[in-house]
Each structure stands twice: as C-alpha cells, then as structure tokens.
Structure 1
Amino acid sequence: MPRHLLRSLLLLLPLLLLPPPAAPGSLARRSPAALPWSRRLGTRGPAGSPGRRPAPTDAPSLRVSEPGGARGAGVCKSRPLDLVFIIDSSRSVRPLEFTKVKTFVSQIIDTLDIGEADTRVAVVNYASTVKIEFNLQAYSDKQSLKQAVARITPLSTGTMSGLAIQTAMDEVYTVEAGARGSNSNIPKVAIIVTDGRPQDQVNEVAARARASGIELYAVGVDRADMESLKMMASEPLDDHIFYVETYGVIEKLSSRFQETFCAVDACVLGTHQCQHVCISDGEGKHHCECSQGYALNADKKTCSAVDKCALNTHGCEHICVNDRPGSYHCECYEGYTLNEDRKTCSAQDKCASGTHGCQHICVSDGAGSHHCECYEGYTLNEDKKTCSVHNKCALGTHGCQHICVSDGAESYHCDCHPGYTLNEDKKTCSATQEVRRLISTADACGCEVTLAFQEKVSSYLQRLNTKLDNILKKLQVNEYGQVHR
C-alpha cells in the first residue's frame, strides 16, 4: 500500500471509531439525575413565581412537541409576564449557533400574547460584558420584537452570567424600564441561555434575583455546566432547567415554553365537567355555575332546581310563587281571581266585592275595571277615591228654616223670606211687627173693617210680591232649590 494512503487511513481511524452522532432534532441529558422534566405552570406561587401544575404521568421521558401542536387557538392563552431573555453570545457560540438562539427567542415570542397589558419582553446580551439590547417598554407588538431580536449581534469572549443577571435585576426589572410594579401581580420571568461555565459568582446573584421575585429558567446547550444551571434556576429545578445537545435543536424547546407559559382553558377544552355553565377565571382556572332557577350542589359541578318559577315552565298566567325548593303555586293580579285550573285568571267586579276603596260610589267599567264618584254636593279628591264637600246647602243638612245661601265649598248662611227677620240662632225666622199688625183680628167682626183690612192686606201683599220678584231676580235658584247670589 502506498505510504500516503496509509497515512490518510491512520488520520481517519479515530474518526471512524467515534460513536455515531445524535439524530437531528433529538434531545439528550448529561446524566439521568441532572436534567429536568418540564412541567406546565399555573397560578402564581410565593415570591412572584407563577407556580406549578401537576406533572404528566410520563415525566421520565423528554418529549418535545412542535410549536402550536398541542394547544389550539382559543384554548391556550399565555399569561401576562415581564419576560427577559438573557442570552450568552461569547466566542464559544458560533455565528450560526447564535442565529439558532435568536430563532428560539422569536419562536417563544410567537407563542405569547404581546402588548402593554399582556406580556412585555426585553433582551440582555452578555459575554465578558453585558448589553441591554432593549427594555420591556421598547416594543408592544410581535413583529417589532422579532425584528429587534434579528438585529442582535454577538459580543466577545467570556461568560459573565452573574453580571448579566445582576444587570437585568438592577436595570431591566424597574418601573422606569417598563416593568410593572409588585401590585400588578405580573410574574417576572427570566430565561438564561448558555453553553459554558460562568466566570463570576453567579450563585449569590441568582439567589438575590430569586428572592426579589424573579423566576429563573436555565437553558443549557452542549458544554453548559450542569451545576451552574442548578445554581441559577428557580425551584423546583426539574421545572426550571432545560438541556439540549446542540444549538441545532434548541428551537424545539419553544413549544415547551409555550406550555410553560400557557393558561389552559378547561371550559374551551370541554374537560370542566360542569353540568350547566363553565366560567373561565384565567390562568387555567375555572368554576361552575348553574342556569337560572338552579343551585350548585356540594360537588361544585352539578345543579339542582330550586326556583321553578324562574325556569318559566310553571304555566301561571299572572304570578308564580315559590313555596319551597321545587314547589310553587299560581296567583293573580289585583282585580282578578284564579280559575279552577289554578293557573289562569279572570277579571272580577271590584264594586260587587266591596274591595274598590271608593268613599261614596263605585262604578264598574267592566273587565275588572272601575272608578269612584261622589254624592251630590261633593267632589272627588286627587286620590280618586275619597270625596270632599262642595255645597253644604245642597246636602239639606244646613238647618235653615227659610233660605240656605252657599258661601263657598264648605260655607253657607241662613236667610229669611220678606217680612221675616233672622233670629239669634242664625237659622230660624220671625215675622216683622208690621206683618203681625196686619194679621191682627181685633176688628175682624166689622164688615167695613174687614173689607178695609182685606183691601189693605191685598195692597200690602201686592207690594210684597213686587218686592219678592225683585229679590228673585237678584237670586239664582236651581232645580234642586239651591239659592245662589
């Protein structure tokens, strides 16, 4: 064999003896105890942590689904976050690999609801130095965010992970930089991506960050030091540490973070088990409610009828009255009576039943309707039921011996016929002295006297009639004998 071919074979022999590379897209762990199983998150836990949901039953395996595969639109809505990516761009991260990191960040952004009131995103780039690429308040839409991520360039040598976390804590998670205050209950989350070992005291810095309420996720790639990932990540570590063999498959972790930040809507999924109504409370929570007329049972899922009237299946024509849970009876509006079927109603005659409330007279108008009227000399008050005196002379209870004169609604006085005067009682009348003299019978036996008396009386009566006619012209006498001036 020629010497140059033998030399080439010797050079290639170590490569031929290497184990086959991992299949594209595969994920691996450094050791069985070192790498995590990612679990989904639910409501906030202590110190601002979003908390945890129960782990899947197949936790030992490390399966990664494609983005958007498991959660459909409307079923999974991301919770609002103040999210900061802290990415390693030291010299060990080659340009093509750094592009993969930026794609990973953009894919996570795609799974989130971005906006002022939703999730805000910032990026901290680090190597031996730290650079804040943009703050939380810089962009409020996905397109602008992804364009800003695409413009990020690597820095230099070194892996100052502790300095990067400290910078994020001091300069990014501030209200001035766009972070929301503690009263907002918006979780503060940081995702650290690195392929090396920190060159500073990351343990103490990460501890302070976690104590301040920042939830730390550590993503290790290739040569990343597992102990350092554990120092940085929040508890439980199994939920906050991710590892992949190469940058070539880091993009597939985006679907895992989608599930991590996803609030699953059980009402939309149909897994709520509510008998009647499922109400979404946000962040994956829900509660059951019942339709009108039903009450929620002790199991908080099923319902029992408590108000049959509210169900509108009672059949009452007018009013449904609940007697006890599940029982009722029908009643009618005022002026109606319940028919024999105990459901329908018929109009009643209130005037006949004596329930009209009229003080004087009740007049039936038919179909259960009526109105009130008053006796002569009275007027109907504003309540349309009671009456007030209008003319006491017309009532005939005035007590005047001769003439009653009305002075107004409730006032009157007595008067006497001509030739009579009103007595002190203001009611009775007495003849005048002239009349008494004329009717004296002292000389009644003499004819001449009698004739003279008769002539004199006739003349006097004629004068009286003339005087009476004049008085009557001044007075108005109605058909009831009522006298008005």
Structure 2
Amino acid sequence: MKSLFGNLVYCLFLFVSDVYGTYRLNGFDPLQVTAQSYAQRRNLARPPLRTLDPSVTDNSCRSRPLDLVFIIDSSRSVRPGEFEKVKIFLADMVDTLDVGPEATRVAVVNYASTVKIEFLLKAHLNKPNMKQAITRIEPLAAGTMTGLAIKSAMTKAFTEESGARPKSKNIAKVAIIVTDGRPQDQVEEVSAAARGSGIEIYAVGVDRADMTSLRLMASNPLEDHVFYVETYGVIEKLTSKFRETLCEVKVVVVEDPCKCEARLAFQMQTQAALQEITARLADMTGRVEQIENILGPV
C-alpha cells in the first residue's frame, strides 16, 4: 500500500509540474506577463522621467506608420475646461502625423469608471474627419478605471477587426495614456500583457497623477516613455516631444528581449509553488503512514 501511495504522490507531482509548464492565464503567456512586470519593477527606482524641451519645434520629419490609440482619462477630477485642452492636444497630435490607410491610423479610448471607445482605427482615415470626431468627445465624469481602459484598448481597439494592421505588415502599435489621477483598479498585469502583445505604451501624468502607476504602465526605458506636466494648460508642450519621438524608427517593447531575467523570476515563482505543494504532499504522506501503522498490515 505504501508503494502504491508513493506512486500516487509521484504522479500527482508530475501532473502539477505539467500544469505549471503549460498554464496560460486569461489567454496570455504568464512568462511574457512576468517578463514585463519584472522589468517594470526593476526600473521603478531608475532616473526620473524626461522633462519637456519646449524648444523642439521641428515639423520637417514624417512620422512612421503607426496604429496609434489614445487612452484619455475623463474622470471627475478632470474639469470641463481641462478636458477641452486634452482634446486640443489630440487634435494637435493628429496634425503632426501622416494620417491615412497606409500611414498612421488613430483610435481614441475614453475612460472613467466605464470605458467608451470613441472611434476605432478604421473609422477615420483622414485628418479633417478625425479632428471633427475629436471635437464630439464628451467626458464620462466618474471613477478612474485605467486598467480596464488598457484592457479594452488591447482587446477591442488593437484588433484587425477594428482596423489594426496584421503583424506581417510590421506596423508599430502605440498607446498614449493621459491621466491626472491614481488608478482605482490594477494596472500592472494588464499593462504587462499589453506590452507583451507588442504594444508600446507612453504614460502622461498631469498634476496629481500617481507616478508609480505611470511607471508600471509604460514601456521601457521609462525615461523615454513617462512624461509629466504640471497642468492641463501646458499639455500642448507634449506635442513637439511626441513629434520628435514618433519620428524615430526604433520601437522598444521589452527591455530584456531574451527574457533571461524574467524567465528566472518565473521559474523562482514556480519553484516556490511546487515546494509548497511538495511539502503538503509530504505531510499527507506522513499522516497516511501513521494511519497504516495504527491499522497494521492490510
């Protein structure tokens, strides 16, 4: 009986190991999510975000083709006049881009306690129509569900059905998040999943924005992807900075492309879980042996 139980424990151990090796959380590779989260937390204490250089005014460069999604906070803390400045910023950004079916496509995700996709990447493929659609955006007024907004952008806005180009076309996918508050939901895991799927994330904080959350959301290197402005009144200064950034050719999605450090972190987490399960199995084995000793040979 002892031999039979030992074999049972061993088989259970192999089953648990196989589960950990093949498990996929919510459709996302846990190794990629861990890769992104691990790299993000390692960078939280790095040098502060880049400051803006208002002297950059060059209009000569052409933006690389993008699938670009703006994710804008319209919670109660964003006053109506401030939200209008966000819309002006979006319109100014559109003016700096080469918009078109084969160039840059733009979508806008508006969020507070709920999420509203104002228009998809396939909706407006010229600047006049796009800017007119931006003028019609209204604030949603309550809550700051930033994580939900990022998830909606990833699963609904950045899809081929919504107008995103297929991976074979090698078009960069970029999200620009603008917020002045602290998320009321979790942003780390969903942001890691978004970055792991190939989305480059820029995080723009205004006034009371939580800088730790911005750093957890943004792509690496953080000094190139996290920005801060004191008020919505000066957010237009970001236009020149993004013009400079979006004219660059490089796209940085994962700081550790080989995932060496992330793989180690994931393996350590898995090993710890397996050790805990093994300890419980050993305890259960000991109890069964005690019962066998009491009952005697069967």
Structural mapping, 1:421-436, within 5 Å = none
Do the aligned partners of 1:217 and 1:234 also contact (CA within 8 Å) in 2?
Answer: yes
In 2: Cα distance, 1:199 partner to 1:257 partner:
27
Tell me which residue corresponds to 1:211: 196
In 1: Cα distance, 2:47 partner to 2:203 partner:
13
In 1: Cα distance, 2:96 partner to 2:85 partner:
17
SS at match of 2:160: coil
In 2: Cα distance, 1:221 partner to 1:145 partner:
24
In 2: Cα distance, 1:117 partner to 1:108 partner:
18
Specify every segment of 5 or more residues in structure 1 that has no aligned partner in the other structure, as ranges: 1-31, 38-60, 264-282, 285-485
SS at match of 2:141: coil
* C-alpha spacing 1:62/1:121, structure 2 compared with 1 (3 Å): closer
**How far does the alpha carbon of each residue in 1:135-187 deviate from its partner, in whole angstroms, 9 at most, with x for none?**
00000111111110111000021000000000011111111100001101000
* C-alpha spacing 1:101/1:207, structure 2 compared with 1 (3 Å): same
Tell me which residue corresponds to 1:36: 49
SS at match of 1:155: coil
1:65 equivalent in alignment to 2:55: yes
Q: Aligned letter for 1:173? A: F
TM-score normalized by the length of structure 1: 0.41
SS at match of 2:185: coil
Tell me which residue corresponds to 1:140: 125
Q: 1:113 aligns with which of 82, 98, 114?
A: 98
Instruction: Indicate the structure with greater strand content.
Output: 1
Instruction: Indicate the structure with greater helix content.
Output: 2
* C-alpha spacing 1:221/1:207, structure 2 compared with 1 (3 Å): same
Structural mapping, 1:229-268, within 5 Å = 229-263=214-248
Which of structures 1 and 2 has the bigger CA Rg?
1
In 1: Cα distance, 2:67 partner to 2:115 partner:
20
1:64 shift after superposition? 1.9
Task: Answer 1 or 2: higher relative contact order, Cα 8 Å, separation at least 6.
Answer: 2
Do the aligned partners of 2:89 and 2:235 also contact (CA within 8 Å) in 1?
Answer: yes
Specify every segment of 5 or more residues in structure 2 that has no aligned partner in the other structure, as ranges: 1-44, 251-298
**Backbone CA RMSD of aligned residues:** 1.6
1:70 shift after superposition? 2.2
Do the aligned partners of 1:93 and 1:195 also contact (CA within 8 Å) in 2?
Answer: yes
Do the aligned partners of 2:120 and 2:157 also contact (CA within 8 Å) in 1?
Answer: yes
Tell me which residue corresponds to 2:35: none
**How far does the alpha carbon of each residue in 1:70-115 deviate from its partner, in whole angstroms, 9 at most, with x for none?**
243xxx1110000000000000000000000011111111000000
TM-score normalized by the length of structure 2: 0.67
1:34 shift after superposition? 6.4
In 2: Cα distance, 1:133 partner to 1:149 partner:
8
1:62 shift after superposition? 3.8
> Aligned residue pairs: how many?
206
Structural mapping, 1:371-382, within 5 Å = none
**How far does the alpha carbon of each residue in 1:390-448 deviate from its partner, in whole angstroms, 9 at most, with x for none?**
xxxxxxxxxxxxxxxxxxxxxxxxxxxxxxxxxxxxxxxxxxxxxxxxxxxxxxxxxxx
Q: 2:80 aligns with which of 91, 95, 118?
A: 95
Structural mapping, 1:158-173, within 5 Å = 158-173=143-158
In 2: Cα distance, 1:249 partner to 1:34 partner:
23
Percent identical pairs in the alignment equals 65
